Amino acid sequence: LNLGFIFKYHVPSSSGVEDSFVLKEGEVHKRAQGRKRIGKKNFKKRWLRVTNQELSYHKQKGKEALCVIPVKNILGVEKLEESAFNRKNMFQVIHSEKPLYVQAGNCVETNSWIEVLSQVSRCNPGRLSTFHPSAYVGGSWLCCKELNENTPGCKPCTATVLANIQLDIDCDRETERIFSFFSSNRSRLQKMEDACAGMSVYLGQQEECSAFTIQDPKETFRTIKELGEVLDDLQAQHDSKGALTDEPGFFGIFQGYLEFYRKLSTSS
């Protein structure tokens, strides 16, 4: 399984604007912008959320965004040296304004955030070739001692992982992301199901205005119905537990998603 899978299937809406779906979200500690210097009060607990369109942080999950950074404005995503704020597991999101400094719960989460943010912004024009591995504190960069805050980075940026490189990732987490994607496009799946039903029952031709081509309406109808049952099952898990678990069967569900994509690609 490669991480590029989830970024490959971006589905535009009828208006031509790409639909938004959640790639990753979770609780982190974010450094406040400016004012106070080093200290615990400088970091606040926030809910970080990244979609295929924007990165945002919130006071709590479900609350309005305190800040929104369009993905197209991200210029780099890199780790931050522990010495910058005397904190481990930190990374920085470099964008058109001041860098966003974030502390994840552990090194695995740090790498996961960097991986997702790097992938979703990897094609952005103007991505940086260098960055500062530490912070600008007390009138100078801690890494290179330069006084000018706008001085170009002193270290080469990490090359973005190519989409075709196989990665060891959490299959349950990837299932969660794909579940979010399918859930946000449930109405589009319903339209496809209705179109299949109409073609099968009335033996009619597919409407020319349709955004997809169906060559085998019966098989596509059956596949969509099966997917709907899987989504209902996962939604029940969400309602009862709040997130996907590693209970037996979830890897099978994940493989079902991949099979669904394969069937759609052969029938369209």
Read off the DSSP letter of residue 261.
H
Beta-sheet pairing, 130-131 with 155-156: antiparallel
Each residue of 81-131: pLDDT tens digit? 999 999 999 999 999 888 999 999 999 999 999 999 998 998 898 899 999
pLDDT tens by residue, 147-179: 999 999 999 998 754 444 444 556 666 777 777
> Contact at 8 Å (CB) between 21 and 116?
no
Contact indicator for 6, 179 with CB cutoff of 8 Å: no
What CA–CA distances, in Å, run from 165 to 3, 23, 38, 98?
8, 19, 39, 31
Structure token digits, residue 114:
């960097």
Q: Is the pLDDT of residue 209 over 50?
A: no
DSSP 34: S
Structural domains of the chain, with CATH: 4-156 (2.30.29.30), 171-267 (no CATH)
Grade residue 15 by pLDDT with cuts at 50, 70 and 90. very low
Interior/surface letters 203-226, b for 16+ CB within 10 angstroms, e for the rest:
eeeeeeeeeeebebbeebbebbee
- Type of residue numbered 168: D
